[in-house]
Structure 1
Amino acid sequence: MSYQTTPAQASVLTLEGCAVFDALPTAVLIFASDLILYANTVALQIFQADSKDQVLGESVHKFIYPLDQERVIARIRRAEKSNLINPPTEFRVYTCLHQVRVIALTSRTLMIDSHIGLVATFLDMTERCAMEKRLRDSDAQFQHLMNTMQDVFYRTDADGITRYVSASVRNVLGYSPDEIIGLPAAVFYPDQDNRKELVEVIKKQGYVRDFPGQMRCQDGRIIDISISSTILLDEMGQYAGVEGIWRDITERRTLERKLEQLASRDELTGIANRRFSLEEMGKRLSRYKRHQRDMSVCILDLDHFKRINDQHGHLVGDQVLLEFSVVVQSELRSTDHFGRLGGEEFLLICEDSSIENTSSLARRILQKVCDHPVAISSQTSIQVTVSIGATAVESSDSSISSILSRADNALYQAKSEGRNRICWFTEMLLRNEI
């Protein structure tokens, strides 16, 4: 075996003195002229050697993975020419069972029995490298998912500051992630109380599913969103933030609103239809039971409407119904409910309104309808009048049917008294007001 002459400054070691390395918990190799001269117990275990003879005297080239050969041998040559410690490097090696492992190795020059050599220590990094690869693959998959998903993934801290948001946010709100990260999530809500409510629910039950909300886009548009998120806790179990996804459901909500409108609105006049009006009356009756505030119900019926249809046709009749509904709505408060029961019959609910106030409203409606003839051509218009039957809601009322029956009786009385008037139903009598 031939050895090169070592630099004068190299450390000196004899092979007989290497036995001390067997007690170390890290792997140690000693080699010179690319031949392995010593391997301690841990090194033999990493190389899966049954005996020292499988390793000692073998060339290091035999164990270095082919694609890493040039890089590793170049480091060995540099080390042989100096007394510097080679910094740690990772490379692949073959074991005696021809399995591939990754080791992290560092080495330095020393004198071995008066000849130059290298002592190297290394760790088995195979499992760590495999774990890092899994993490890189997982991170790559996560980033691919974040970059391609339509929904927006986000994470906020305990103070509501956005710490992460996926790239998909640009397609939804128009902002880049960098323009959002670091800002309070609440600033993108047109109603910041909506964000507070979201956080309160998450803190209470730990998650939300399809929580409704709205956000403001960069161009000022308000969009509807659906939020599904879970709570984040720190190591002490304290609230640390929220993470989850939200999606743009504006098109869905617009369609739902249209369907709701079709289900609740009269197709001709655009006001509430019969079903919705009766549901609303039920809700307001329940409120009346709780608060006992004055409430009146009126049924309005256009006078001689059949004659209008017969003489002028149904298109003119539709025009009369439409213009009548517009005239009535111009006199109502925002709290009043006005709907079409069917045909020429309409329902008016006046909440928090005394008999006197409702009577005053009814008289204004009567007068305004009279003052608004419906023009059916440039030369012809139709004079329209309406009869109104009214009743006050009583504490003994248990259903809307009894209230409507009283209002209908009052309407019949108004018709029999000559039309174009309001009649009130009371428990003892019908009182006319022209």
Structure 2
Amino acid sequence: MALDLATLSIVLFFISSIQAIVMLFIFRIIHNYPGMNYLLASCFFTALSGLVFALRGSFISDAPAILISNLSTFLAVIALNVGFSKFLGLSIAKKWLLATFLLFFISFFIFTLAIDDVSWRIILFSLLISGISFSNAGILLHHKIDSVRQTTRLASAVQLIFGAFFVIRAVITFFHKTSDIFVPTPLQLLVFFISIATIIICSYCFIIMAVQREHWEKKQANEQFQLIFETIPDTVLITGFETGEIVETNETFTEETGFSREEAIGKTPMELNLWLCSKERDAFMDMIQKQGFCKNVEIHIMTKTRKKISVLISANLMKMDQNLFIISVIRNISQSKELAKRLNTSEETFKAIMEQSPVSFMLTKTNGEIEYVNNKFLELTGYQEEEVIGKNPRILKSGYQSRKFYHNLWNTITSGCQWSGEIRNRKKNGEIMWEYVSLTPILDDEGNIIRYLGVQEDISNRKLKEDELKIQARTDMLTGVMNRRYFIEKAEKRLSEMNTLQEKAVFLMIDIDRFKDINDSFGHITGDKAIQIVARQCQKMIKHKDLFGRIGGEEFGALIFAQSQEEYKKAADDIRYSVENINLRHEGEEKIPLHISIGLTVYRPGEDTLESLMHRSDIALYQAKNDGRNRVAII
């Protein structure tokens, strides 16, 4: 087969088609990130370009073939631009892309119909392609996702080379006119070679970026899960739902049962003889199969040394890698049950034990009056013994739990059942503490309740770590405001509520003007400081009922509720003026001008979604930019 344009067109068609098929399969097995479908579209348009060019003369005449082929190539490069922007969380340069698209059509028809000049058509087409390619390179270099940094640099270099080649092609064509585009000149052949190489490298770079990003996110999730897994003071056990085999345990499992992790992994609890009673196991599995979970079920297990332990087990079904697992949290309550038993036989002995115990104990009468507390209780709460004896445990109430919460608690223990759960209590000095509390009714020989035994464990540190993880999951780490994911989640929830309440709202898309100039002139550290200061100022101007978050880069979003047009216009202008008055200086000397542009759109109940609001406000933002920046544009 001769090396001509038709042959290379067929090669380009097959390579692009294979790339699209390969990526389609890969993208189905990894996380579907924004922008991935645009890369598939880019491969499709490239394949279409090669196919049309190859069929020229046989099935399609020259003029339509050139138009469709060039248009497909142009759309392929634009699809890459949109795909990279969406994947990297950057705003799409919609007006710039639309302008180049219109310019392509205008130039094609002028130099085809009005003036039949192949050379000028090639020159303008090449310059437009190079412009979008350089834009692609800029997108790949200026983003905030560190996990794909190395790969985006490679893809950026490829886009720069691709764009530079088309600039060279335009220059050569300017000095050496082309009369027939279908003549296989070395330059024409090189166009196909460069296009084939670029689509192959960019496609694989995109695949690597998706894999790297998913790997990083899974690593982050695993680290957070592992932190909670190892921090929780209870035994955590993960077993296969079908096989029953233990797949993971924490350190507390070894401390409570005596079995090391190596001894437990791959074995079932039955093989380790953990279950003391087969009926309890059957009842537990029946609850899991019917409900998918169980909560605070009292069972009995045996340790490696054949010691009986009373525990409370809570479990849930969990799906991982297409398989079902049971994750169980087990709390040892043997100590409180043993102490309760001893109380029935020897109160003095029981109290002696409690005085030496590292766990907080409280003994109350049936009317709730505190009869006894141990030293650990006094140490934990800050009270003296004479300050609590004869008082009601409500002296510890923080006001966090509802009246219904305490009503259910008392109904449980007065019926003779044990109650366990987390309570937010208050120390004597007013400091709040989280406790895991177990309340056990003490019965006499006839089964009547004569006292209540409370066992409290301070879990404040664990709750603090859990709260920190929750904050990290919903907070933008640079600015401290809501991150994109949490902002969108909250905004969608508020909008769904508004559909019934018929409230009025507007969406603001806020962008720092000439932020790239700040970065280039004063450095990224100053650029980050500018983002932080603007975010804090905007948050300060937002009312308590309104929402504000960072969308990405130097762009922020706000959902504001107002009663009239004048009110929300004033709110937007107030935000803009407040940023304008920020005194930001570089190294304490040169003042850095800070301005923002705001795109504002009004929510239409029953018609709008958050996506449509963000889309319209984005259009309004670009209108504000084009009108001179540092202003509010309304759609």
TM-score scaled to structure 1, two decimals? 0.59
| 8 Å contact from structure 1 (residues 297, 391) kept in 2 | yes
CA offsets 1:354-380 (integer angstroms, 9 cap, x no match) = 443221111011112222242113431
| 8 Å contact from structure 1 (residues 232, 242) kept in 2 | yes
Match of 1:299 in 2: 509
Post-superposition offset of 1:232: 8.1
| 8 Å contact from structure 1 (residues 201, 208) kept in 2 | no
| 8 Å contact from structure 2 (residues 507, 600) kept in 1 | yes
- Given candidates 349, 355, 373, the residue that maps to 1:165 is 373
Post-superposition offset of 1:323: 1.5
Amino acid at match of 1:332: I
Match of 2:595 in 1: 385
Distance in 1, matches of 2:393 and 2:403, equals 10
The answer to whether 1:146 aligns with 2:357 is no
- Given candidates 161, 180, 185, the residue that maps to 2:388 is 180
Distance in 2, matches of 1:303 and 1:280, equals 27
Amino acid at match of 2:369: I
Q: Aligned pair in 2 of structure 1 residues 409, 422: CA closer, same or farther (>3 Å)?
A: same
Could you say what the CA RMSD is over the residues aligned between the two structures, in angstroms? 3.3
Amino acid at match of 1:196: R
TM alignment of 1:346-385, pairs within 5 A: 346-351=556-561, 353-385=563-595
| 8 Å contact from structure 2 (residues 364, 452) kept in 1 | yes
Secondary structure, in 3 states, of the residue corresponding to 2:594?
Answer: coil
The answer to whether 1:211 aligns with 2:422 is yes
CA offsets 1:321-380 (integer angstroms, 9 cap, x no match) = 122122223322222222111110111122355443221111011112222242113431
TM alignment of 1:182-197, pairs within 5 A: 182-191=390-399, 194=401, 196-197=403-404
Distance in 1, matches of 2:566 and 2:445, equals 66
Distance in 2, matches of 1:237 and 1:368, equals 70
Match of 2:610 in 1: 400
Distance in 2, matches of 1:356 and 1:180, equals 58
The answer to whether 1:330 aligns with 2:540 is yes
- Given candidates 398, 423, 434, the residue that maps to 2:633 is 423
Count of residues paired in the alignment: 290
Secondary structure, in 3 states, of the residue corresponding to 2:605?
Answer: coil
Distance in 1, matches of 2:609 and 2:412, equals 38
Amino acid at match of 1:190: S
Distance in 1, matches of 2:375 and 2:478, equals 46
- Given candidates 255, 266, 272, the residue that maps to 2:476 is 266
More strand by share: 1
TM alignment of 1:76-225, pairs within 5 A: 139=347, 142-157=350-365, 159-191=367-399, 194=401, 196-203=403-410, 208-217=419-428, 219-225=429-435
Q: Which region of structure 1 is more displaced relative to structure 2, 159-168 or 301-310?
A: 159-168
Secondary structure, in 3 states, of the residue corresponding to 2:401?
Answer: helix
Amino acid at match of 2:628: G
Structure 1 segments unaligned to the other structure (5+ residues): 1-133, 426-434
Higher relative contact order (CA 8 A, sep 6+): 1
Q: Aligned pair in 2 of structure 1 residues 299, 239: CA closer, same or farther (>3 Å)?
A: farther
| 8 Å contact from structure 2 (residues 424, 434) kept in 1 | yes
| 8 Å contact from structure 1 (residues 213, 227) kept in 2 | no
Secondary structure, in 3 states, of the residue corresponding to 1:410?
Answer: helix
CA offsets 1:397-430 (integer angstroms, 9 cap, x no match) = 56422222222222222222222112222xxxxx
Distance in 2, matches of 1:243 and 1:137, equals 15
Match of 2:496 in 1: 286
| 8 Å contact from structure 2 (residues 398, 424) kept in 1 | no
- Given candidates 246, 250, 262, the residue that maps to 2:460 is 250
Q: Aligned pair in 2 of structure 1 residues 215, 361: CA closer, same or farther (>3 Å)?
A: same
Distance in 2, matches of 1:395 and 1:237, equals 61
CA offsets 1:138-163 (integer angstroms, 9 cap, x no match) = 54663354234443333445654323
% identical equivalent positions: 30
Structure 2 segments unaligned to the other structure (5+ residues): 1-341
Match of 1:317 in 2: 527
| 8 Å contact from structure 1 (residues 198, 211) kept in 2 | no
Q: Aligned pair in 2 of structure 1 residues 162, 388: CA closer, same or farther (>3 Å)?
A: same
Post-superposition offset of 1:290: 3.4
Secondary structure, in 3 states, of the residue corresponding to 1:194?
Answer: coil
Distance in 2, matches of 1:413 and 1:232, equals 73
Post-superposition offset of 1:289: 2.6
| 8 Å contact from structure 1 (residues 161, 185) kept in 2 | yes
| 8 Å contact from structure 1 (residues 397, 403) kept in 2 | no
Task: Please tell me whether Structure 1 or Structure 2 has the larger radius of gyration of its CA atoms.
Answer: 1
Amino acid at match of 1:415: K
Distance in 2, matches of 1:262 and 1:371, equals 31
| 8 Å contact from structure 2 (residues 576, 596) kept in 1 | yes
| 8 Å contact from structure 1 (residues 355, 392) kept in 2 | no
| 8 Å contact from structure 1 (residues 295, 354) kept in 2 | no
Amino acid at match of 1:308: I
More helix by share: 2
| 8 Å contact from structure 1 (residues 389, 410) kept in 2 | yes
Distance in 2, matches of 1:234 and 1:198, equals 28
CA offsets 1:299-325 (integer angstroms, 9 cap, x no match) = 101111112112221011011112212
Distance in 2, matches of 1:163 and 1:146, equals 14
Q: Aligned pair in 2 of structure 1 residues 313, 287: CA closer, same or farther (>3 Å)?
A: same
Match of 1:12 in 2: none
Q: Aligned pair in 2 of structure 1 residues 283, 138: CA closer, same or farther (>3 Å)?
A: farther
Q: Aligned pair in 2 of structure 1 residues 292, 231: CA closer, same or farther (>3 Å)?
A: farther
Distance in 2, matches of 1:135 and 1:179, equals 24
Distance in 1, matches of 2:353 and 2:564, equals 62
